Amino acid sequence: PMFHNNMVYKGYRLTASVSRVAIGNARRPAFTATVAVELAGDRDRLGEPHAVPLFDAGGFVATPGMAVDAAITHGRLMVDSHSRAD
Protein backbone atom coordinates (compact mmCIF):
# COMPACT_ATOMS: atom_id res chain seq x y z
CA PRO A 1 0.00 0.00 0.00
CA MET A 2 1.06 3.59 -0.58
CA PHE A 3 0.92 6.10 2.25
CA HIS A 4 0.74 9.80 1.47
CA ASN A 5 1.56 12.74 3.62
CA ASN A 6 2.12 16.35 2.69
CA MET A 7 2.74 19.78 4.14
CA VAL A 8 3.23 23.31 2.88
CA TYR A 9 6.63 24.81 3.67
CA LYS A 10 7.68 28.32 2.57
CA GLY A 11 5.08 28.32 -0.20
CA TYR A 12 5.93 24.84 -1.50
CA ARG A 13 3.86 21.70 -1.10
CA LEU A 14 5.97 18.72 -0.03
CA THR A 15 4.35 15.35 -0.67
CA ALA A 16 5.94 12.16 0.62
CA SER A 17 5.10 8.84 -1.01
CA VAL A 18 6.00 5.81 1.08
CA SER A 19 6.74 2.32 -0.20
CA ARG A 20 7.12 -0.89 1.75
CA VAL A 21 10.27 -2.77 0.77
CA ALA A 22 11.55 -6.29 1.34
CA ILE A 23 14.96 -6.41 2.98
CA GLY A 24 16.62 -9.76 2.41
CA ASN A 25 15.20 -12.38 4.77
CA ALA A 26 14.15 -9.84 7.39
CA ARG A 27 10.70 -10.57 8.79
CA ARG A 28 10.11 -7.05 10.04
CA PRO A 29 8.68 -4.42 7.69
CA ALA A 30 10.90 -1.80 6.11
CA PHE A 31 9.92 1.41 4.35
CA THR A 32 11.40 4.01 2.03
CA ALA A 33 9.93 7.20 0.57
CA THR A 34 10.32 9.83 -2.11
CA VAL A 35 9.30 13.49 -1.92
CA ALA A 36 7.66 15.71 -4.52
CA VAL A 37 8.21 19.47 -4.24
CA GLU A 38 5.93 21.93 -6.02
CA LEU A 39 4.56 25.43 -5.58
CA ALA A 40 1.63 25.20 -3.19
CA GLY A 41 -0.70 26.97 -5.64
CA ASP A 42 -0.19 24.43 -8.42
CA ARG A 43 -3.44 22.57 -9.03
CA ASP A 44 -2.05 19.92 -11.37
CA ARG A 45 -0.02 18.24 -8.61
CA LEU A 46 2.62 17.12 -11.11
CA GLY A 47 5.59 17.54 -8.83
CA GLU A 48 8.19 14.97 -9.76
CA PRO A 49 9.27 12.62 -6.98
CA HIS A 50 12.81 13.18 -5.75
CA ALA A 51 14.97 10.48 -4.22
CA VAL A 52 15.83 10.90 -0.54
CA PRO A 53 19.60 10.40 -0.05
CA LEU A 54 19.12 8.04 2.92
CA PHE A 55 16.94 5.70 0.88
CA ASP A 56 18.85 6.22 -2.37
CA ALA A 57 21.92 4.90 -0.57
CA GLY A 58 20.06 1.71 0.39
CA GLY A 59 18.81 2.86 3.77
CA PHE A 60 15.33 2.16 5.12
CA VAL A 61 13.26 2.80 8.24
CA ALA A 62 10.92 0.70 10.39
CA THR A 63 7.63 2.60 10.04
CA PRO A 64 5.74 4.57 7.37
CA GLY A 65 5.76 7.62 9.64
CA MET A 66 9.55 7.59 9.88
CA ALA A 67 9.77 7.33 6.08
CA VAL A 68 7.44 10.33 5.70
CA ASP A 69 9.50 12.31 8.21
CA ALA A 70 12.74 11.58 6.35
CA ALA A 71 11.20 12.51 2.99
CA ILE A 72 9.59 15.73 4.26
CA THR A 73 12.85 16.72 5.96
CA HIS A 74 14.70 16.25 2.66
CA GLY A 75 12.02 18.28 0.86
CA ARG A 76 12.48 21.13 3.33
CA LEU A 77 16.25 21.08 2.74
CA MET A 78 15.61 21.20 -1.02
CA VAL A 79 13.31 24.23 -0.60
CA ASP A 80 15.85 25.97 1.64
CA SER A 81 18.72 25.46 -0.79
CA HIS A 82 16.53 26.50 -3.74
CA SER A 83 15.35 29.71 -2.06
CA ARG A 84 18.96 30.59 -1.20
CA ALA A 85 19.93 30.12 -4.85
CA ASP A 86 17.47 32.75 -6.09
> Tell me, what's the pLDDT at 25?
78
Residues 6+ apart with CB under 8 A from 69: none
Tally of CB atoms within 10 A around 18: 23
Query: Residue 4 — pLDDT band, cuts 50, 70, 90?
Result: low
> Tell me, what's the pLDDT at 66?
95
Single pTM value for the model: 0.85
Asked if pLDDT for residue 86 goes beyond 60, the answer is: no
d(CA 82, CA 20): 29
d(CA 40, CA 20): 27
Interval 19-74: pLDDT, tens: 999 887 778 889 999 999 999 887 776 778 999 999 999 999 999 999 999 999 99
> Tell me, what's the pLDDT at 24?
79
> Tell me, what's the pLDDT at 40?
86
